[in-house]
């Protein structure tokens, strides 16, 4: 009976913490709602600046001019809320962790946040503009570029989130070595297999074109090498 009460208590606490995280996300969404159009203009700036003078953004769907900015601020709200969501989960799990586990998880969690946002920023300011310029400049002269705002949103968000996830590679590498799952030497010898894996991951995390996959796989490879360099084998 006591174990059942403890389980109910834990589930109740988890529910309350998830509700807090949801409320935090909704507050951000409501705060950004009046600025949804302005935020989308800022978000689409790399595309707008790359378009020829005679080209414009278009909306194929009737509801796209309204729905796409809302989807954008919802995505931004979730991305901004990630540290708070993880904090709530951490606060829930912390009492059940050993001191060594707490010391191990906290710095990795903070590093994970930083790397995720670095990956997202790198994708938005570097990768997305480069890819857009490449695709537009390689289009036949007879083709008039008229990009749908919904397709651009899906294209950019997929790349941004993909790079945020890809930048977690050093965390995976260091933790796997620290826990003794792999040794540094094993990772070095397995390098060709991991490179193939990075390209496969790129197929799922980026739009279906080889250039986007290469743009994602190469940083993952470099971050993998960085992870090996700074990791320490388990004693």
pLDDT higher than threshold 70 for residue 4: no
pTM: 0.79
Q: What is the pLDDT, as a whole number, of residue 134? A: 81
pLDDT higher than threshold 80 for residue 34: yes
The mean per-residue pLDDT over the stretch 24-35 comes to 91
Q: What is the pLDDT, as a whole number, of residue 26? A: 92
Cα separation, 43 vs 120, whole angstroms: 13
pLDDT tens figures, 122-152: 988 888 888 888 887 777 777 777 778 888 8
pLDDT tens figures, 82-93: 888 888 877 777
In a domain, 121, yes or no: yes
In a domain, 183, yes or no: no
pLDDT tens figures, 97-129: 666 666 777 787 888 888 888 999 998 888 888
Cα separation, 186 vs 195, whole angstroms: 14
Q: What is the pLDDT, as a whole number, of residue 112? A: 84
Half-sphere exposure of 134 (CA within 13 A, CB side): 11
Domains in the chain: how many in total? 1
Q: What is the pLDDT, as a whole number, of residue 28? A: 92
In a domain, 92, yes or no: yes
In a domain, 144, yes or no: yes
Let me know: does 129 contact 46? Beta carbons within 8 Å.
yes
pLDDT tens figures, 60-85: 878 888 888 898 899 889 888 888 88
68 three-state secondary structure: helix
In a domain, 203, yes or no: no
Q: What is the pLDDT, as a whole number, of residue 30? A: 93
Q: What is the pLDDT, as a whole number, of residue 27? A: 93
Q: What is the pLDDT, as a whole number, of residue 215? A: 80
Domain that holds residue 133: 2-167
- Residue 235 or residue 65, greater confidence: 65
Q: What is the pLDDT, as a whole number, of residue 201? A: 85
pLDDT tens figures, 144-189: 777 788 888 888 888 888 888 888 888 888 888 887 788 888 888 8
- Residue 91 or residue 224, greater confidence: 224
Nearest to 137 by CA among 50, 69, 207: 50
In a domain, 201, yes or no: no
Confidence of residue 54 (pLDDT cuts 50, 70, 90): low
In a domain, 138, yes or no: yes
**Residue recorded with tokens 């739009």:** 207
In a domain, 178, yes or no: no
Let me know: does 57 contact 48? Beta carbons within 8 Å.
yes
pLDDT higher than threshold 80 for residue 225: yes
Average pLDDT, the chain: 81
């Amino acid at each position: 009976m006591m174990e059942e009460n403890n389980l109910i208590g834990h589930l109740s606490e988890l529910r309350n913490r998830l509700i807090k995280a949801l409320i935090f996300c909704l507050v951000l969404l409501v705060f950004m709602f009046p600025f949804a159009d302005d935020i989308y203009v800022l978000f689409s700036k790399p595309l707008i600046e790359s378009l020829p003078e005679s080209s414009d953004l278009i909306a194929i769907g009737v509801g796209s001019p309204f729905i796409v900015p809302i989807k954008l601020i919802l995505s931004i709200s979730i991305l901004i809320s990630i540290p708070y969501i993880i904090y709530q989960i951490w606060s829930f799990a912390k009492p059940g962790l050993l001191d060594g586990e707490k010391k191990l998880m906290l710095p990795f969690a903070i590093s994970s946040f930083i790397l995720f946002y670095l990956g997202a920023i790198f994708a938005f300011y570097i990768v997305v503009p480069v890819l857009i310029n490449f695709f537009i400049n390689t289009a036949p002269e007879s083709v008039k570029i008229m990009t749908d705002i919904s397709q651009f949103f899906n294209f950019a968000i997929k790349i941004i989130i993909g790079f945020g996830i890809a930048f977690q590679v050093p965390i995976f590498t260091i933790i796997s070595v620290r826990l003794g799952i792999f040794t540094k030497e094993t990772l070095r010898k397995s390098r060709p297999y991991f490179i193939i894996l990075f390209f496969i991951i790129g197929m799922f995390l980026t739009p279906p074109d080889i250039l986007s996959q290469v743009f994602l796989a190469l940083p993952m490879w470099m971050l993998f090498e960085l992870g090996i360099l700074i990791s320490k084998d388990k004693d």
